[in-house]
Structure 1
């Protein structure tokens, strides 16, 4: 006899929470499998792809876990290329930020303001680029240009994502026991949900993006 009413909703909730916990454990395991440095980027990209499938209606945990592993293997090299570029840019920005903070006068204040704006933009691009990678099949350089375009085109959604991340940060700060089981999976779920709205609006505005990634 099928479960109905509140019992069905409770079952779906428990199943959903279990899925998030399992995917979080897989993210940790796959990150460690790549010795952290070369494992964290493909593990994160794979989780974005898997969460996206869940948001599109796929709810079988066994299938999602298998899909996660396949995405991790298939995107290992390509996603690490993006990760290395982001690390290089981030390192360059940090070095320049330290230099600018030592400067005085109006010119120093102006450069500091510019650097802060650039670093905020960089943070938003990092937040978007793996979602772009999970959604679309583009030439390597276009992942960066598309992330910049989406960040500048939808500032309200970017601000909403930042606010949401801050709320999640406060929740995990208050209940730190949730962090090892849901910290990454819930964060990526939230970002994927936010980005789905952006990609939908982007698709309605123009057709500049390529066909969706067939592996997603």
Structure 2
């Protein structure tokens, strides 16, 4: 039976909320399946790929679940390589940050300022790299350079993403009961939506990324 008016909108809303909850549970399950350490990165990449398909118009729950599982298996090794590099860089930055904070005088202040700027850039790269990975098929090292260029080329979008994440953080802080069901899936959906706008504006990223591949 076809529905229209407020009933149709209510049904679509419930369906969308159900999808977010299912994707969240899958993210948790697939992360645990990979013993957390080697499961969290492919689970996150798979979630970005699935939400991208949803934003492109795919709304069948069974199809999206299949896409998620296939993406998890297909990108398991490649995504973990990226995860290992990010962890390595993050550890290096934390160690150096502790060293810099122990320095005194003007030189210490300058080094601290530089380190903070580098760590902010690193955080933005972490925020963008999985979106680039989900949208494009690139050589391994290009994902990092593409993420840097994306951050530098669109600072307004980067700031908007940060503000959006902060608002989501406040919502989850006020209503913590949402976190187990929508914390990750809603955050990834927001970032995917933001990245789709950014990729559409740029058209081409680093001379090789064609926006037309988004519809492939």
Q: Report the TM-score when normalising by structure 2.
A: 0.96
CA contact (8 A) 2:150 2:205 kept: no
Say whether residues 1:36 and 2:51 are aligned partners: no
The whole-number CA distance in structure 2 between the counterparts of 1:8 and 1:197 is 27
The aligned length equals: 215
- Indicate the residue corresponding to 1:212 in structure 2: 213
How far the C-alpha of 1:202 sits from its partner, in A, is 1.4
> Which deviations, in whole Å up to 9, do the C-alpha atoms of 1:72-121 show, x marking residues without a partner?
00000000000000000000000000000000100000000000000000
CA contact (8 A) 1:137 1:213 kept: no
- Indicate the residue corresponding to 2:15 in structure 1: 15
> Do the aligned partners of residues 144 and 204 (structure 1) sit closer, same or farther apart at CA in structure 2, a change above 3 Å counting?
closer
Say whether residues 1:190 and 2:195 are aligned partners: no
- Indicate the residue corresponding to 1:55 in structure 2: 55
Q: Report the TM-score when normalising by structure 1.
A: 0.96
How far the C-alpha of 1:201 sits from its partner, in A, is 1.1
- Indicate the residue corresponding to 2:112 in structure 1: 112
How far the C-alpha of 1:212 sits from its partner, in A, is 3.1
- Indicate the residue corresponding to 1:75 in structure 2: 75
Superposition pairs for residues 176-187 of structure 1, below 5 Å?
Answer: 176-187=176-187
- Indicate the residue corresponding to 1:159 in structure 2: 159
How far the C-alpha of 1:208 sits from its partner, in A, is 2.5
The whole-number CA distance in structure 2 between the counterparts of 1:136 and 1:213 is 8
Residue ranges of structure 1 left out of the alignment (5+ in a row): none
How far the C-alpha of 1:204 sits from its partner, in A, is 6.0
The whole-number CA distance in structure 2 between the counterparts of 1:187 and 1:78 is 22
The alignment yields a C-alpha RMSD, in angstroms, of 1.5
> Which deviations, in whole Å up to 9, do the C-alpha atoms of 1:137-182 show, x marking residues without a partner?
0000000000000000000100000000000001001100000000
Say whether residues 1:2 and 2:11 are aligned partners: no
CA contact (8 A) 1:42 1:79 kept: yes
Say whether residues 1:129 and 2:143 are aligned partners: no
> Do the aligned partners of residues 205 and 85 (structure 1) sit closer, same or farther apart at CA in structure 2, a change above 3 Å counting?
closer
Residue ranges of structure 2 left out of the alignment (5+ in a row): none
SS in 1 for 2:141: helix
